[in-house]
Amino acid sequence: MPSTRIRNRRLEPRKLPKQPRSEATVRAILDAAAQVFERHGYAAATTNRIAGRAGVSIGSLYQYFPNKDAILVALVHRHVADSTAALQPHLQRLGSGARWNDVLPDIVDAMVATHALAPGLHRVLFEETPLPSTLRAELQRLEDRLVDLAAGALAADLDPFPADPHLCARVVINTIEGLTHRLVLRPPPGVTPEAIAREITEVVRAYIQARTRRQRPGSVPPAAPRSARLRG
């Protein structure tokens, strides 16, 4: 969903906290902002409401953030850091030679869990927040790292060897991210995050299995649809 908000506003913090007290103030502002955006959405989340929720003066808030969009961008940075920390143990396992099939469910579970913590906030962050180029680059670096590790694990784990393991891995990572975003942030009624994680894992496994079957010597390609055979 494209953002409808003004994109020429300043999105960087006015200053960075250097003392424990100022760090606590910024942390309180971000925690309060996360709650306000989760509960009220973008339009109703004002800096006055965020400051009140944080228990700080509006002047204290403006010492650090010029507007609410800058607060949102800071929340995206925090989400990226939290997501990286949640994935780190599984990335280390892949880097240490663990089998892809053994690590895949844990990667999906971690990504689903980070989205499920505050789905309303995530909708605001990633569907409405105008991300600066530095933050987009940070997100791309995280994706590239996942792709590199997944490509190495897939190449070592699959027989036959994928013709293009990096393309295969990028499809896998984007499938996990896309389905997680769509299904966790707007879940079907009565569906749990655990059920969503299981289905995403099965989708990815089915793609990988189909990918390797197509490359296996002597494998029979899938039959063309009946309409296509009739046209021929």
Q: What is the pLDDT of residue 123?
A: 87
Same domain, 38 and 113: no
d(Cα 183, Cα 149) in Å, to the nearest integer? Answer: 25
Rg, C-alpha atoms of the chain: 22
221 belongs to a structural domain? no
34 belongs to a structural domain? yes
* Count of CB atoms situated within 10 Å of the CB of 1: 7
Q: What is the pLDDT of residue 161?
A: 66
202 belongs to a structural domain? yes
d(Cα 105, Cα 34) in Å, to the nearest integer? Answer: 28
d(Cα 160, Cα 103) in Å, to the nearest integer? Answer: 20
Extract long-range pairs of 196-202: CB within 8 Å, 24+ residues apart. 196/112, 197/105, 197/108, 197/109, 197/112, 200/108, 200/112, 200/175, 200/176, 201/104, 201/105, 201/108
Q: Which of 64, 72, 45 is nearest to 130 (CA)?
A: 72
Same domain, 60 and 77: no
Single pTM value for the model: 0.77
Q: How far apart are the first and last CA of the chain?
A: 41
13 belongs to a structural domain? no
pLDDT tens-digit series, residues 183-214: 999 999 999 999 999 999 999 999 988 877 65
Residues lower than pLDDT 70 in the chain: 1-19, 130, 160-162, 213-232
Q: Which of 50, 96, 97, 95 is nearest to 69 (CA)?
A: 50
Rounded mean pLDDT of the chain?
83
Would you say 54 and 32 are in contact if contact means Cβ atoms under 8 Å apart?
A: yes
208 belongs to a structural domain? yes
Q: What is the CATH number of the domain that holds 79?
A: 1.10.357.10
- Tally of structural domains, the chain: 2
Q: Provide the percentage of residues in the chain whose pLDDT is more than 90.
A: 45
Would you say 187 and 180 are in contact if contact means Cβ atoms under 8 Å apart?
A: no
Please give the residue range of the domain that contains residue 173: 69-215
Same domain, 148 and 103: yes
Residue 152 φ/ψ region, left for φ over 0, alpha for ψ in the -120 to 50 degree band, beta for the rest: alpha
Same domain, 75 and 60: no
Q: What is the pLDDT of residue 126?
A: 84
Same domain, 82 and 155: yes
1 belongs to a structural domain? no
Q: What is the CATH number of the domain that holds 30?
A: 1.10.10.60
d(Cα 50, Cα 34) in Å, to the nearest integer? Answer: 9
Same domain, 115 and 149: yes
Q: What is the pLDDT of residue 214?
A: 59
Return all residues near 229 (Cβ < 8 A) that are at least 6 apart.
223
Q: What is the pLDDT of residue 58?
A: 96
Same domain, 28 and 93: no
Same domain, 57 and 89: no
